[in-house]
A and B are shown apart, each in its own frame.
Chain A
Protein backbone atom coordinates (compact mmCIF):
# COMPACT_ATOMS: atom_id res chain seq x y z
CA UNK A 1 0.00 0.00 0.00
CA UNK A 2 1.05 3.57 -0.58
CA UNK A 3 1.68 5.69 2.49
CA UNK A 4 2.04 9.32 3.50
CA UNK A 5 2.58 11.85 0.74
CA UNK A 6 2.46 9.11 -1.94
CA UNK A 7 -1.29 8.91 -1.40
CA UNK A 8 -2.05 12.61 -1.50
CA UNK A 9 -4.13 14.34 -4.13
CA UNK A 10 -4.89 18.04 -4.59
CA UNK A 11 -8.11 19.99 -4.22
CA UNK A 12 -7.78 22.48 -7.04
CA UNK A 13 -11.29 23.87 -6.98
CA UNK A 14 -14.37 23.92 -4.74
CA UNK A 15 -17.87 25.27 -5.26
CA UNK A 16 -21.36 25.10 -3.83
CA UNK A 17 -24.94 26.00 -4.60
CA UNK A 18 -26.38 27.64 -1.46
CA UNK A 19 -28.46 25.34 0.77
CA UNK A 20 -32.16 26.16 1.04
CA UNK A 21 -35.57 24.87 0.12
CA UNK A 22 -35.50 25.98 -3.50
CA UNK A 23 -37.71 23.25 -4.93
CA UNK A 24 -35.89 22.98 -8.23
CA UNK A 25 -34.37 19.95 -9.97
CA UNK A 26 -31.28 18.67 -8.13
CA UNK A 27 -29.31 18.71 -11.39
CA UNK A 28 -29.45 22.53 -11.42
CA UNK A 29 -27.71 22.70 -8.04
CA UNK A 30 -25.12 20.18 -9.20
CA UNK A 31 -24.35 22.11 -12.36
CA UNK A 32 -24.12 25.38 -10.44
CA UNK A 33 -21.69 23.86 -7.92
CA UNK A 34 -19.64 22.15 -10.65
CA UNK A 35 -19.24 25.36 -12.62
CA UNK A 36 -18.20 27.22 -9.45
CA UNK A 37 -15.61 24.55 -8.62
CA UNK A 38 -14.22 24.55 -12.17
CA UNK A 39 -13.96 28.36 -12.16
CA UNK A 40 -12.20 28.18 -8.79
CA UNK A 41 -9.74 25.66 -10.26
CA UNK A 42 -9.22 27.73 -13.40
CA UNK A 43 -10.20 24.75 -15.53
CA UNK A 44 -12.80 24.16 -18.21
CA UNK A 45 -15.42 21.39 -18.06
CA UNK A 46 -13.78 19.91 -21.13
CA UNK A 47 -10.56 19.44 -19.10
CA UNK A 48 -12.34 16.98 -16.79
CA UNK A 49 -11.39 13.34 -17.45
CA UNK A 50 -13.45 11.66 -14.75
CA UNK A 51 -16.78 12.55 -13.11
CA UNK A 52 -17.90 11.04 -9.81
CA UNK A 53 -21.51 11.76 -8.86
CA UNK A 54 -23.19 11.25 -5.50
CA UNK A 55 -26.58 9.61 -6.04
CA UNK A 56 -29.88 10.76 -4.58
CA UNK A 57 -32.67 8.25 -4.00
CA UNK A 58 -35.46 10.81 -4.03
CA UNK A 59 -35.18 12.28 -7.49
CA UNK A 60 -36.23 9.47 -9.77
CA UNK A 61 -33.98 7.61 -12.14
CA UNK A 62 -31.68 10.61 -12.89
CA UNK A 63 -30.84 10.63 -9.17
CA UNK A 64 -29.63 7.02 -9.29
CA UNK A 65 -27.15 7.87 -12.03
CA UNK A 66 -26.27 11.34 -10.80
CA UNK A 67 -22.77 11.39 -12.30
CA UNK A 68 -24.13 11.02 -15.80
CA UNK A 69 -27.19 13.23 -15.15
CA UNK A 70 -25.00 16.14 -14.17
CA UNK A 71 -22.44 15.43 -16.91
CA UNK A 72 -25.26 15.48 -19.47
CA UNK A 73 -26.49 18.83 -18.17
CA UNK A 74 -22.96 20.26 -18.36
CA UNK A 75 -22.78 18.94 -21.95
CA UNK A 76 -21.37 15.49 -22.73
CA UNK A 77 -17.57 15.69 -22.80
CA UNK A 78 -16.77 11.98 -23.02
CA UNK A 79 -15.32 11.79 -19.48
CA UNK A 80 -15.40 8.46 -17.68
CA UNK A 81 -18.05 8.36 -14.97
CA UNK A 82 -19.06 6.71 -11.70
CA UNK A 83 -22.18 7.17 -9.59
CA UNK A 84 -22.11 6.11 -5.96
CA UNK A 85 -24.51 5.85 -3.05
CA UNK A 86 -23.69 5.39 0.64
CA UNK A 87 -26.53 7.34 2.31
CA UNK A 88 -24.98 10.30 4.20
CA UNK A 89 -21.51 8.98 3.31
CA UNK A 90 -22.25 9.19 -0.42
CA UNK A 91 -19.98 12.18 -1.02
CA UNK A 92 -16.99 10.57 0.68
CA UNK A 93 -17.39 7.50 -1.52
CA UNK A 94 -17.50 9.63 -4.67
CA UNK A 95 -14.38 11.48 -3.49
CA UNK A 96 -12.68 8.17 -2.72
CA UNK A 97 -13.43 6.76 -6.18
CA UNK A 98 -11.95 9.86 -7.82
CA UNK A 99 -8.95 9.75 -5.48
CA UNK A 100 -8.27 6.10 -6.29
CA UNK A 101 -8.33 6.78 -10.05
CA UNK A 102 -5.98 9.74 -9.65
CA UNK A 103 -3.56 7.80 -7.43
CA UNK A 104 -3.64 4.88 -9.87
CA UNK A 105 -2.55 7.24 -12.61
CA UNK A 106 -5.74 6.66 -14.60
CA UNK A 107 -6.59 10.38 -14.74
CA UNK A 108 -5.26 13.77 -13.67
CA UNK A 109 -8.46 15.78 -13.33
CA UNK A 110 -11.66 14.57 -11.66
CA UNK A 111 -14.87 16.40 -10.83
CA UNK A 112 -16.85 15.17 -7.82
CA UNK A 113 -20.36 16.50 -7.49
CA UNK A 114 -23.42 15.83 -5.35
CA UNK A 115 -26.80 17.56 -5.14
CA UNK A 116 -30.22 16.94 -3.67
CA UNK A 117 -33.80 18.17 -3.68
CA UNK A 118 -35.60 17.09 -0.50
CA UNK A 119 -39.26 16.74 0.46
CA UNK A 120 -40.83 18.51 3.45
CA UNK A 121 -40.75 16.96 6.91
CA UNK A 122 -39.31 13.63 8.07
CA UNK A 123 -37.33 11.49 5.71
CA UNK A 124 -39.51 8.48 4.85
CA UNK A 125 -38.58 5.19 3.18
CA UNK A 126 -39.21 4.40 -0.48
CA UNK A 127 -42.87 3.57 -1.24
CA UNK A 128 -44.69 0.25 -1.62
CA UNK A 129 -45.05 -2.58 0.90
CA UNK A 130 -41.58 -4.00 1.47
CA UNK A 131 -41.73 -6.32 4.46
CA UNK A 132 -38.13 -7.51 4.10
CA UNK A 133 -36.57 -4.03 3.95
CA UNK A 134 -35.42 -2.94 7.43
CA UNK A 135 -35.74 0.71 6.42
CA UNK A 136 -39.43 0.18 5.54
CA UNK A 137 -40.07 -2.00 8.59
CA UNK A 138 -38.57 0.42 11.11
CA UNK A 139 -41.14 3.00 10.05
CA UNK A 140 -44.01 0.52 9.87
CA UNK A 141 -43.43 -1.35 13.15
CA UNK A 142 -41.78 1.28 15.33
CA UNK A 143 -42.40 4.62 13.67
CA UNK A 144 -38.64 4.90 14.13
CA UNK A 145 -37.90 8.14 12.32
CA UNK A 146 -34.30 9.35 12.17
CA UNK A 147 -34.86 11.62 15.21
CA UNK A 148 -35.82 8.51 17.22
CA UNK A 149 -32.26 7.21 16.83
CA UNK A 150 -30.81 10.68 17.54
CA UNK A 151 -33.03 10.87 20.65
CA UNK A 152 -31.74 7.50 21.90
CA UNK A 153 -28.11 8.66 21.57
CA UNK A 154 -28.89 12.01 23.21
CA UNK A 155 -30.67 10.42 26.18
CA UNK A 156 -27.80 7.94 26.56
CA UNK A 157 -25.36 10.90 26.90
CA UNK A 158 -27.57 12.39 29.59
CA UNK A 159 -27.83 9.11 31.49
CA UNK A 160 -24.13 8.18 31.14
CA UNK A 161 -22.35 11.52 31.34
CA UNK A 162 -24.84 13.95 32.83
CA UNK A 163 -25.24 16.00 29.65
CA UNK A 164 -28.03 18.58 29.95
CA UNK A 165 -30.55 20.21 27.63
CA UNK A 166 -28.49 23.36 28.04
CA UNK A 167 -25.38 21.58 26.71
CA UNK A 168 -27.30 20.51 23.63
CA UNK A 169 -28.65 24.04 23.17
CA UNK A 170 -25.13 25.43 23.55
CA UNK A 171 -24.04 23.42 20.48
CA UNK A 172 -26.85 25.01 18.47
CA UNK A 173 -25.99 28.51 19.67
CA UNK A 174 -22.30 28.01 18.83
CA UNK A 175 -23.02 26.67 15.34
CA UNK A 176 -25.62 29.35 14.65
CA UNK A 177 -22.95 31.95 15.43
CA UNK A 178 -20.47 30.20 13.10
CA UNK A 179 -22.93 30.04 10.22
CA UNK A 180 -23.96 33.69 10.39
CA UNK A 181 -21.28 34.75 7.93
CA UNK A 182 -21.51 31.72 5.62
CA UNK A 183 -23.13 32.71 2.29
CA UNK A 184 -23.95 29.06 1.52
CA UNK A 185 -25.77 28.38 4.80
CA UNK A 186 -29.56 28.12 4.77
CA UNK A 187 -30.16 29.38 8.32
CA UNK A 188 -28.25 32.54 9.21
CA UNK A 189 -29.83 33.52 12.49
CA UNK A 190 -28.25 33.70 15.93
CA UNK A 191 -30.19 31.62 18.46
CA UNK A 192 -30.18 31.90 22.24
CA UNK A 193 -30.08 29.00 24.69
CA UNK A 194 -33.62 29.87 25.75
CA UNK A 195 -34.95 29.79 22.19
CA UNK A 196 -33.44 26.36 21.54
CA UNK A 197 -34.67 24.85 24.79
CA UNK A 198 -38.15 26.37 24.34
CA UNK A 199 -38.59 24.95 20.81
CA UNK A 200 -41.04 22.06 20.38
CA UNK A 201 -39.95 18.63 21.61
CA UNK A 202 -39.71 16.26 18.63
CA UNK A 203 -38.09 13.18 20.20
CA UNK A 204 -37.34 13.76 23.87
CA UNK A 205 -34.83 15.11 24.89
CA UNK A 206 -34.34 16.69 21.46
CA UNK A 207 -36.13 19.88 20.48
CA UNK A 208 -36.87 21.05 16.97
CA UNK A 209 -33.81 23.33 17.03
CA UNK A 210 -31.59 20.43 18.16
CA UNK A 211 -32.35 18.46 15.00
CA UNK A 212 -31.09 19.24 11.51
CA UNK A 213 -33.54 20.00 8.72
CA UNK A 214 -33.56 18.53 5.23
CA UNK A 215 -32.37 20.91 2.53
CA UNK A 216 -31.76 21.38 -1.16
CA UNK A 217 -28.16 22.06 -2.11
CA UNK A 218 -25.20 21.11 -4.23
CA UNK A 219 -21.43 20.86 -3.76
CA UNK A 220 -18.52 20.04 -6.05
CA UNK A 221 -14.76 19.67 -5.87
CA UNK A 222 -12.14 19.43 -8.59
CA UNK A 223 -9.52 16.88 -7.55
CA UNK A 224 -6.23 16.44 -9.37
CA UNK A 225 -2.89 14.68 -9.09
CA UNK A 226 -0.28 16.59 -7.09
CA UNK A 227 1.88 16.86 -10.20
CA UNK A 228 -0.95 18.49 -12.17
CA UNK A 229 -1.82 20.85 -9.29
CA UNK A 230 1.74 22.07 -8.68
CA UNK A 231 1.84 23.53 -12.19
CA UNK A 232 -1.21 25.67 -11.35
CA UNK A 233 -1.11 26.47 -7.64
CA UNK A 234 1.88 27.33 -5.44
CA UNK A 235 0.46 25.58 -2.39
CA UNK A 236 -2.65 23.54 -3.16
CA UNK A 237 -4.82 22.04 -0.42
CA UNK A 238 -4.14 18.30 -0.24
CA UNK A 239 -6.45 15.43 0.63
CA UNK A 240 -4.21 13.31 2.84
CA UNK A 241 -6.75 10.64 3.77
CA UNK A 242 -10.21 9.34 3.00
CA UNK A 243 -11.82 6.79 5.29
CA UNK A 244 -14.88 4.82 4.19
CA UNK A 245 -14.68 2.15 6.90
CA UNK A 246 -17.46 -0.26 7.82
CA UNK A 247 -17.99 -1.52 11.39
CA UNK A 248 -16.16 -4.50 12.85
CA UNK A 249 -18.40 -7.27 14.20
CA UNK A 250 -19.95 -7.15 16.70
CA UNK A 251 -21.19 -3.58 16.38
CA UNK A 252 -22.76 -3.09 19.81
CA UNK A 253 -24.27 0.37 19.23
CA UNK A 254 -27.74 0.48 17.72
CA UNK A 255 -27.49 1.89 14.18
CA UNK A 256 -30.10 3.39 11.93
CA UNK A 257 -32.17 1.64 10.47
CA UNK A 258 -31.65 -1.53 12.52
CA UNK A 259 -33.97 -3.12 15.11
CA UNK A 260 -31.12 -4.58 17.12
CA UNK A 261 -27.36 -4.50 17.55
CA UNK A 262 -25.08 -7.40 16.76
CA UNK A 263 -24.84 -9.98 19.52
CA UNK A 264 -21.54 -9.97 21.41
CA UNK A 265 -21.92 -13.64 22.40
CA UNK A 266 -18.84 -15.74 21.71
CA UNK A 267 -16.64 -12.95 20.36
CA UNK A 268 -14.55 -10.10 21.72
CA UNK A 269 -16.02 -6.63 21.28
CA UNK A 270 -13.60 -4.58 19.11
CA UNK A 271 -11.27 -2.21 21.01
CA UNK A 272 -12.28 0.64 18.73
CA UNK A 273 -16.05 1.11 18.31
CA UNK A 274 -17.35 1.89 14.84
CA UNK A 275 -17.78 5.64 15.21
CA UNK A 276 -14.29 5.98 16.72
CA UNK A 277 -12.82 3.96 13.85
CA UNK A 278 -14.04 6.41 11.20
CA UNK A 279 -11.63 9.28 11.93
CA UNK A 280 -8.99 6.95 13.32
CA UNK A 281 -8.57 5.28 9.94
CA UNK A 282 -8.05 8.70 8.37
CA UNK A 283 -5.48 9.66 11.04
CA UNK A 284 -3.63 6.39 10.38
CA UNK A 285 -3.54 7.01 6.64
CA UNK A 286 -2.19 10.52 7.17
CA UNK A 287 0.22 9.46 9.91
CA UNK A 288 -1.06 12.03 12.41
CA UNK A 289 -3.16 12.13 15.57
CA UNK A 290 -6.16 14.18 16.72
CA UNK A 291 -3.83 16.58 18.56
CA UNK A 292 -2.42 17.62 15.16
CA UNK A 293 -5.83 18.65 13.80
CA UNK A 294 -6.64 22.38 13.70
CA UNK A 295 -10.42 22.04 13.27
CA UNK A 296 -13.20 19.64 12.34
CA UNK A 297 -16.45 19.51 10.42
CA UNK A 298 -18.68 16.87 12.02
CA UNK A 299 -22.09 15.52 11.10
CA UNK A 300 -24.36 17.23 13.64
CA UNK A 301 -27.61 15.50 12.71
CA UNK A 302 -28.48 16.54 16.24
CA UNK A 303 -26.76 18.87 18.70
CA UNK A 304 -26.16 15.93 21.04
CA UNK A 305 -24.54 13.94 18.24
CA UNK A 306 -21.96 16.72 17.77
CA UNK A 307 -20.88 16.03 21.37
CA UNK A 308 -20.51 12.31 20.59
CA UNK A 309 -18.31 13.22 17.62
CA UNK A 310 -15.88 15.24 19.82
CA UNK A 311 -15.06 11.96 21.51
CA UNK A 312 -15.22 9.84 18.36
CA UNK A 313 -12.62 12.02 16.61
CA UNK A 314 -10.34 12.16 19.64
CA UNK A 315 -10.88 15.81 20.59
CA UNK A 316 -12.14 14.70 24.03
CA UNK A 317 -12.15 11.56 26.19
CA UNK A 318 -15.52 9.80 26.64
CA UNK A 319 -17.63 11.96 28.92
CA UNK A 320 -15.52 15.11 28.40
CA UNK A 321 -17.28 16.52 25.33
CA UNK A 322 -19.47 18.86 27.37
CA UNK A 323 -16.36 20.23 29.07
CA UNK A 324 -14.62 21.24 25.81
CA UNK A 325 -17.89 22.69 24.54
CA UNK A 326 -18.44 24.77 27.69
CA UNK A 327 -14.83 26.05 27.86
CA UNK A 328 -14.95 27.25 24.26
CA UNK A 329 -12.39 24.81 22.80
CA UNK A 330 -14.73 23.94 19.93
CA UNK A 331 -15.97 27.47 19.18
CA UNK A 332 -14.35 29.79 16.65
CA UNK A 333 -11.39 31.32 18.48
CA UNK A 334 -10.96 28.14 20.55
CA UNK A 335 -8.15 25.60 20.28
CA UNK A 336 -9.99 23.11 18.01
CA UNK A 337 -13.09 24.71 16.48
CA UNK A 338 -15.81 22.32 15.33
CA UNK A 339 -18.21 23.11 12.50
CA UNK A 340 -16.86 26.54 11.55
CA UNK A 341 -19.21 26.37 8.54
CA UNK A 342 -22.20 26.33 10.90
CA UNK A 343 -22.65 22.58 10.37
CA UNK A 344 -25.90 20.83 9.59
CA UNK A 345 -27.60 23.07 12.13
CA UNK A 346 -27.16 25.98 9.70
CA UNK A 347 -27.32 23.98 6.47
CA UNK A 348 -29.80 21.14 6.89
CA UNK A 349 -29.00 17.89 5.20
CA UNK A 350 -28.67 17.56 1.42
CA UNK A 351 -27.46 13.99 1.61
CA UNK A 352 -25.30 13.36 -1.49
CA UNK A 353 -23.80 16.85 -1.29
CA UNK A 354 -23.00 16.90 2.40
CA UNK A 355 -19.61 15.18 2.61
CA UNK A 356 -18.49 17.11 -0.49
CA UNK A 357 -19.56 20.38 1.13
CA UNK A 358 -17.50 19.42 4.18
CA UNK A 359 -14.42 19.22 1.93
CA UNK A 360 -15.32 22.63 0.47
CA UNK A 361 -15.23 24.10 4.00
CA UNK A 362 -11.93 22.38 4.82
CA UNK A 363 -10.48 23.86 1.65
CA UNK A 364 -11.68 27.41 2.28
CA UNK A 365 -10.37 27.29 5.84
CA UNK A 366 -6.98 25.87 4.84
CA UNK A 367 -6.58 28.47 2.08
CA UNK A 368 -7.53 31.28 4.47
CA UNK A 369 -10.59 32.17 2.38
CA UNK A 370 -13.31 31.60 4.99
CA UNK A 371 -13.97 35.27 5.68
CA UNK A 372 -15.57 36.10 9.02
CA UNK A 373 -15.54 32.42 10.08
CA UNK A 374 -11.82 31.97 9.33
CA UNK A 375 -9.76 29.90 11.77
CA UNK A 376 -6.37 31.61 12.09
CA UNK A 377 -3.48 29.45 10.93
CA UNK A 378 -5.53 26.35 10.12
CA UNK A 379 -3.16 23.63 8.87
CA UNK A 380 -5.09 20.35 9.12
CA UNK A 381 -8.84 19.81 8.98
CA UNK A 382 -10.87 16.64 9.38
CA UNK A 383 -14.46 16.07 8.23
CA UNK A 384 -16.47 13.13 9.57
CA UNK A 385 -19.84 11.73 8.77
CA UNK A 386 -21.71 8.45 8.85
CA UNK A 387 -24.22 6.92 6.46
CA UNK A 388 -26.91 4.53 7.64
CA UNK A 389 -26.30 0.75 7.42
CA UNK A 390 -22.67 1.34 8.54
CA UNK A 391 -20.95 3.67 6.08
CA UNK A 392 -18.04 5.52 7.64
CA UNK A 393 -16.91 8.79 6.09
CA UNK A 394 -13.87 10.85 6.99
CA UNK A 395 -11.76 13.19 4.90
CA UNK A 396 -8.53 14.70 6.13
CA UNK A 397 -7.12 17.73 4.31
CA UNK A 398 -4.00 19.73 4.88
CA UNK A 399 -1.93 22.53 3.39
Chain B
Protein backbone atom coordinates (compact mmCIF):
# COMPACT_ATOMS: atom_id res chain seq x y z
CA UNK B 1 0.00 0.00 0.00
CA UNK B 2 1.37 3.45 -0.90
CA UNK B 3 2.46 5.68 1.89
CA UNK B 4 1.29 9.27 2.02
CA UNK B 5 3.78 11.95 2.93
CA UNK B 6 2.31 14.49 5.32
CA UNK B 7 4.04 17.40 7.11
CA UNK B 8 4.47 17.12 10.88
CA UNK B 9 3.25 20.69 11.15
CA UNK B 10 1.22 22.67 8.58
CA UNK B 11 2.80 25.56 6.75
CA UNK B 12 6.28 25.55 8.30
CA UNK B 13 8.09 24.24 5.20
CA UNK B 14 7.54 23.47 1.51
CA UNK B 15 7.19 19.87 0.35
CA UNK B 16 9.10 20.09 -2.95
CA UNK B 17 12.42 18.47 -3.89
CA UNK B 18 14.38 21.54 -2.78
CA UNK B 19 12.44 22.27 0.40
CA UNK B 20 12.58 25.55 2.30
CA UNK B 21 11.42 26.60 5.71
CA UNK B 22 8.61 29.13 5.48
CA UNK B 23 9.03 32.26 7.57
CA UNK B 24 7.72 35.76 7.32
CA UNK B 25 9.46 39.02 6.51
CA UNK B 26 8.46 42.45 7.69
CA UNK B 27 7.61 44.65 4.71
CA UNK B 28 8.73 47.70 6.65
CA UNK B 29 12.08 46.85 8.32
CA UNK B 30 13.00 43.60 6.57
CA UNK B 31 13.25 41.43 9.71
CA UNK B 32 12.68 37.70 9.29
CA UNK B 33 10.71 35.45 11.63
CA UNK B 34 10.61 31.69 12.05
CA UNK B 35 8.20 30.21 12.85
CA UNK B 36 6.06 32.75 10.99
CA UNK B 37 5.11 35.89 12.85
CA UNK B 38 1.86 37.07 11.27
CA UNK B 39 0.44 39.54 13.77
CA UNK B 40 3.06 42.27 14.10
CA UNK B 41 6.78 42.77 13.55
CA UNK B 42 8.75 42.12 16.75
CA UNK B 43 11.37 44.78 16.06
CA UNK B 44 10.48 47.18 18.90
CA UNK B 45 11.28 50.22 16.74
CA UNK B 46 9.08 48.96 13.91
CA UNK B 47 5.95 47.11 15.00
CA UNK B 48 4.51 47.18 11.48
CA UNK B 49 1.67 44.77 10.85
CA UNK B 50 2.38 43.85 7.23
CA UNK B 51 4.41 40.66 7.07
CA UNK B 52 4.79 38.50 3.99
CA UNK B 53 5.45 34.78 3.84
CA UNK B 54 8.88 33.99 2.48
CA UNK B 55 11.02 30.88 2.02
CA UNK B 56 14.19 30.99 4.13
CA UNK B 57 17.68 30.21 2.84
CA UNK B 58 18.15 26.49 2.32
CA UNK B 59 21.77 26.66 3.38
CA UNK B 60 23.68 28.06 6.28
CA UNK B 61 26.70 27.66 8.50
CA UNK B 62 26.70 25.32 11.47
CA UNK B 63 26.65 27.40 14.70
CA UNK B 64 26.62 24.46 17.10
CA UNK B 65 25.36 20.89 17.45
CA UNK B 66 24.56 18.18 19.96
CA UNK B 67 22.53 14.98 20.10
CA UNK B 68 19.88 13.00 21.92
CA UNK B 69 21.22 9.70 23.29
CA UNK B 70 17.98 8.95 25.15
CA UNK B 71 14.41 9.09 23.83
CA UNK B 72 12.87 12.52 24.48
CA UNK B 73 9.56 12.50 26.37
CA UNK B 74 6.19 12.84 24.65
CA UNK B 75 4.93 14.58 22.57
CA UNK B 76 8.06 13.38 20.72
CA UNK B 77 7.21 10.14 18.92
CA UNK B 78 10.28 8.01 19.62
CA UNK B 79 10.87 4.75 17.74
CA UNK B 80 11.48 1.62 19.77
CA UNK B 81 14.32 0.76 19.79
CA UNK B 82 15.45 4.38 19.98
CA UNK B 83 18.10 5.60 17.58
CA UNK B 84 20.20 8.55 18.80
CA UNK B 85 20.15 11.56 16.48
CA UNK B 86 21.96 14.89 16.26
CA UNK B 87 20.42 18.37 16.48
CA UNK B 88 22.00 21.34 14.70
CA UNK B 89 21.77 25.12 15.08
CA UNK B 90 22.42 26.67 11.67
CA UNK B 91 23.13 30.33 10.97
CA UNK B 92 21.42 31.74 7.87
CA UNK B 93 23.46 34.54 6.33
CA UNK B 94 20.75 36.50 4.53
CA UNK B 95 18.25 36.25 7.39
CA UNK B 96 20.94 36.79 10.08
CA UNK B 97 19.29 34.24 12.31
CA UNK B 98 20.03 30.79 13.74
CA UNK B 99 17.52 27.97 13.14
CA UNK B 100 17.39 24.60 14.90
CA UNK B 101 16.66 21.29 13.23
CA UNK B 102 17.33 17.61 13.57
CA UNK B 103 20.25 16.25 11.58
CA UNK B 104 19.53 13.45 9.10
CA UNK B 105 20.05 9.83 10.14
CA UNK B 106 23.57 8.58 9.72
CA UNK B 107 25.25 11.92 10.54
CA UNK B 108 26.44 12.23 14.13
CA UNK B 109 28.35 14.78 16.18
CA UNK B 110 31.66 13.22 15.11
CA UNK B 111 30.86 14.20 11.52
CA UNK B 112 30.15 17.85 12.36
CA UNK B 113 32.15 20.98 13.16
CA UNK B 114 31.18 24.63 13.65
CA UNK B 115 31.24 26.69 10.47
CA UNK B 116 30.56 23.84 8.03
CA UNK B 117 27.90 24.38 5.38
CA UNK B 118 24.58 22.67 6.00
CA UNK B 119 21.53 22.28 3.79
CA UNK B 120 17.86 21.66 4.44
CA UNK B 121 16.10 18.42 3.48
CA UNK B 122 12.84 16.70 4.40
CA UNK B 123 12.94 13.41 6.24
CA UNK B 124 10.68 11.13 8.23
CA UNK B 125 9.92 12.30 11.77
CA UNK B 126 7.77 9.23 12.51
CA UNK B 127 5.38 6.77 10.86
CA UNK B 128 1.69 7.00 11.58
CA UNK B 129 -0.02 4.00 10.00
CA UNK B 130 0.35 4.55 6.24
CA UNK B 131 1.48 8.12 6.70
CA UNK B 132 5.10 9.16 6.46
CA UNK B 133 5.12 12.18 8.76
CA UNK B 134 7.97 14.40 7.58
CA UNK B 135 9.83 17.36 9.00
CA UNK B 136 12.81 19.54 8.07
CA UNK B 137 16.28 18.32 8.88
CA UNK B 138 19.81 19.60 8.32
CA UNK B 139 22.57 17.67 6.62
CA UNK B 140 26.11 18.59 5.53
CA UNK B 141 25.79 20.39 2.17
CA UNK B 142 26.42 17.94 -0.63
CA UNK B 143 26.50 19.84 -3.92
CA UNK B 144 27.00 23.37 -5.13
CA UNK B 145 24.07 25.66 -4.45
CA UNK B 146 21.71 26.17 -7.37
CA UNK B 147 22.38 22.87 -9.16
CA UNK B 148 19.19 21.23 -10.38
CA UNK B 149 18.17 18.20 -8.37
Q: Is the CB of A136 within 8 A of B113?
A: no
Minimum distance in angstroms from A56 CB to a CB of chain B: 18
Give the complex CA separation of A250 and B78 in angstroms: 34
Q: Is the CB of A152 within 8 A of B87?
A: yes
Q: Does B96 contact A (CB under 8 A)?
A: yes
Checking B67, B73, B125, B135 against A203 with a beta-carbon cut-off of 8 angstroms, the contacting residue is B67
* Interchain Cβ contacts within 8 Å, total number: 140
Q: Does A49 contact B (CB under 8 A)?
A: no
Q: Does B76 contact A (CB under 8 A)?
A: yes
Minimum distance in angstroms from A253 CB to a CB of chain B: 8
Q: Is the CB of B69 within 8 A of A155?
A: no
Q: Is the CB of A152 within 8 A of B89?
A: yes
Given A148-B68, A267-B45, A141-B32 contact (CB < 8 Å): no
Q: Is the CB of A122 within 8 A of B73?
A: yes
Q: Which of A207-262 contact B (CB under 8 A)?
A: 249-250, 252, 254, 258-262
Given A144-B100, A264-B97, A249-B64 contact (CB < 8 Å): no
Q: Which residues of A contact B81 (CB under 8 A)?
A: none
Q: Which residues of B contact A192 (CB under 8 A)?
A: none
Q: Does A44 contact B (CB under 8 A)?
A: no
Minimum distance in angstroms from B48 CB to a CB of chain A: 11
Q: Does B147 contact A (CB under 8 A)?
A: no
Q: Does A124 contact B (CB under 8 A)?
A: yes
Q: How many residues of A contact B (CB 8 A)?
A: 47
Q: Which of A153, A154, A259 has the most CB of B within 10 A?
A: A259
Q: Is the CB of B29 within 8 A of A156?
A: no
Proximity string of chain A (66-77) to chain B, C-beta cutoff 8 Å, 1 when within and 0 when not: 000000000000
Given A124-B74, A139-B74, A139-B76, A263-B96 contact (CB < 8 Å): yes
Minimum distance in angstroms from B81 CB to a CB of chain A: 15
Q: Is the CB of A203 within 8 A of B97?
A: no
Closest B residue to A258 using CB positions: B100
Q: Which of B45, B66, B95, B113 has the most CB of A within 10 A?
A: B66
Q: Which of A104-161 contact B (CB under 8 A)?
A: 121-122, 124-125, 129, 131, 134, 136-137, 139-145, 147-148, 151-156, 159-160
Q: Does B3 contact A (CB under 8 A)?
A: no
Q: Which residues of A contact B63 (CB under 8 A)?
A: 152, 156, 254
Q: Which residues of A contact B89 (CB under 8 A)?
A: 152, 254
Q: Is the interface of B mostly helix, strand, loop or mixed?
A: loop
Q: Does A265 contact B (CB under 8 A)?
A: yes
Q: Which of B85, B89, B102 has the most CB of A within 10 A?
A: B89
Q: Is the CB of A267 within 8 A of B66?
A: no
Give the complex CA separation of A259 and B92 in angstroms: 13
Q: Which of B81-115 contact A (CB under 8 A)?
A: 85, 87, 89, 94-102, 109, 113-115
Q: Is the CB of A204 within 8 A of B67?
A: yes
Q: Which residues of A contact B4 (CB under 8 A)?
A: none
Q: Which residues of B contact A125 (CB under 8 A)?
A: 75
Q: Does B30 contact A (CB under 8 A)?
A: yes
Q: Which residues of A contact B32 (CB under 8 A)?
A: 263, 265
Checking B76, B94, B99 against A143 with a beta-carbon cut-off of 8 angstroms, the contacting residue is B76
Given A139-B72, A159-B114, A262-B42, A204-B66 contact (CB < 8 Å): yes
Residues of B within 8 A of A (CB): 8-9, 29-35, 42-45, 63-78, 85, 87, 89, 94-102, 109, 113-115, 125, 135
Show 6 residue pairs from A and B whose CB-CB distance is below 8 angstroms, ordered by the A residue.
A134-B35, A140-B8, A143-B85, A203-B69, A250-B43, A266-B43
Q: A122-B73, A143-B68, A249-B43 are in contact. List 15 more A-B contacts (CB 8 A).
A: A124-B73, A136-B75, A139-B75, A141-B125, A142-B100, A142-B102, A143-B102, A152-B66, A153-B64, A156-B114, A252-B98, A260-B35, A263-B96, A265-B32, A267-B43
Residues of A within 8 A of B (CB): 121-122, 124-125, 129, 131, 134, 136-137, 139-145, 147-148, 151-156, 159-160, 200-206, 249-250, 252, 254, 258-267
Q: List 6 tightest A-B contacts by C-beta distance, closest first.
A: A151-B66, A143-B72, A159-B114, A124-B73, A264-B96, A263-B32
